[in-house]
Amino acid sequence: MKKTVFTLFLLASISEINLAQSLTKAEQEPVVGDLYATKAYDSTLAVPKSVGINQNWNFSSLVQTTLTASSAYISTTSLPSTSLLPGATLAEDLGGGEYNVYKSTTTPASQFELIGRISVTGNTANVLKYTNTSILYTWPMTSTTSFTDNYNGTVIGMPGSYTGTKTVAVTGSGSITMPNGTNYGNILQVKTNEKMVTSVSISTFNISYTTNITMYEYFHPTQKFPLIRVTYEINYDGINPADTSVLIDVNTNINVGIKKETNLILYTLYPNPAKNELNMKLDNPSNQNCFLTIENMEGKFVKSFDLGNDNRIETKLSIEELPPGIYFVKTKQGDNWSVKKIQKE
């Protein structure tokens, strides 16, 4: 009897690990149109980062700061100098003329790689090219995932090099308590340890700069990006005192339980990108009451429309007064609802 009970307990534990989860290319890898928006938080207590199964990472004591950040994933065709980064499939607009450039590949394995960075100042674009790419994630990411990657690169047109080593591993599973007190289960903890050395030659001087990074990311399987990311970073040049920082970024666009657009609502919304107005066409055979709201990338409500309850809704939605940027359009039809992302030009 004891053996049977233990076996059932063991099977339950294994099932929990498998449920908690598998991160996949289809659900977690960014694509054109995705937006990652965060708010920065501080902590006066120890930041939870324990590893193992059945964890409860409690971030409710975090204190929000005034700092926010966002990045948009865009096509590489709109960037200068991407021809210097062959194989690029996606770019991340970090703002201020800074871009990360990525490659999605299935050979030799299904993985997501950083292949370069582009910094644009005026009409000049400086390109950091990874001659040996930096692997960010391999798909799928499961409870047994762990890999080590060596990378290196050069800044095109400048004397210098970058070399680095990173280890990425799934180190825990459990639940997480957000700063607002909301609790989510089925969380996977991904830990990255990374060391990068930058060497630059200026005239007769050689400068070496080392960066050590330890990062904890907490994923929910329905979310494209981590709910919380904690990054410890130490920079030193061997001359000056080390510069140490801790960054805690909290995802501001969480809709746990809703993977993407639901198929329960049949409608179209175009054009995208849009300038002054959107065209909405929605099938409503049961004559349910329909509404539409628009939120900005920080999750703040900016506009709403009452679409009525006709069995076929066709209307134009004015967005002329909205500033350019990425917005989330939430359409509600009775008890069903759906989210689409649009870009306002």
pLDDT tens digits for 34-86? 889 999 999 988 899 999 999 999 999 999 999 999 999 998 887 888 889 99
How far are the Cα atoms of 113, 221, 228 from residue 37, in angstroms, in the given order? 21, 18, 11
How far are the Cα atoms of 169, 250, 262, 338 from residue 194, in angstroms, in the given order? 12, 21, 38, 39
Q: Give the CATH number for residue 305.
A: 2.60.40.1930
Q: Are 7 and 15 in contact (CB under 8 A)?
A: no
In a domain, 10, yes or no: no
Same domain, 244 and 271: no
Mean pLDDT of 211-227: 94
DSSP sequence for 320-344: TTSPSEEEEEEEEETTEEEEEEEEE
Backbone angles phi, psi at 11, to 5 degrees: -60, -40
Residue 257 has pLDDT above 70, yes or no: no
- Please tell me the predicted confidence (pLDDT) of residue 12: 34
pLDDT tens digits for 146-160? 999 999 999 887 778
Parallel, antiparallel, or unpaired: how do β-strands 98-105 and 90-95 relate?
antiparallel
Which is more confidently placed, 221 or 8? Answer: 221
In a domain, 74, yes or no: yes
Parallel, antiparallel, or unpaired: how do β-strands 243-251 and 111-121 relate?
unpaired
How far are the Cα atoms of 178, 323, 332 from residue 327, in angstroms, in the given order? 24, 10, 16
Domain with 282, as residue range(s), is 267-344
Same domain, 47 and 117: yes
Same domain, 336 and 242: no
In a domain, 39, yes or no: yes
Same domain, 295 and 245: no
Single out the residue of 138, 136, 220 nearest to residue 178, CA to CA: 220
| 83 three-class SS | helix
Same domain, 165 and 55: yes
**Confidence class of residue 339 from pLDDT cuts 50, 70 and 90?**
confident
- Please tell me the predicted confidence (pLDDT) of residue 255: 64
**Confidence class of residue 316 from pLDDT cuts 50, 70 and 90?**
very high
- Of 195, 222, 251, the last residue of a domain is 251
**Confidence class of residue 16 from pLDDT cuts 50, 70 and 90?**
very low
In a domain, 14, yes or no: no
Same domain, 223 and 83: yes
Same domain, 96 and 235: yes
Same domain, 50 and 186: yes
What is the chain's Cα-based Rg?
Answer: 23
Same domain, 200 and 335: no
Same domain, 221 and 149: yes
Residue 301 has pLDDT above 80, yes or no: no
In a domain, 7, yes or no: no
Q: Terminal CA-to-CA distance of the chain, rounded, Å?
A: 67
| 54 three-class SS | strand
In a domain, 4, yes or no: no
Same domain, 133 and 246: yes
In a domain, 227, yes or no: yes
Token pair belonging to 248: 């805690």
Residue 186 has pLDDT above 90, yes or no: no
Residue 32 has pLDDT above 50, yes or no: yes
- Please tell me the predicted confidence (pLDDT) of residue 104: 94
Mean pLDDT of 225-254: 93
In a domain, 129, yes or no: yes
Cα torsion angle, 134, 140, 142, 145, sign: negative
Q: Give the chain's domain count.
A: 2
- Of 251, 281, 301, the last residue of a domain is 251
Same domain, 156 and 64: yes
pTM: 0.70
Residue 290 has pLDDT above 80, yes or no: yes
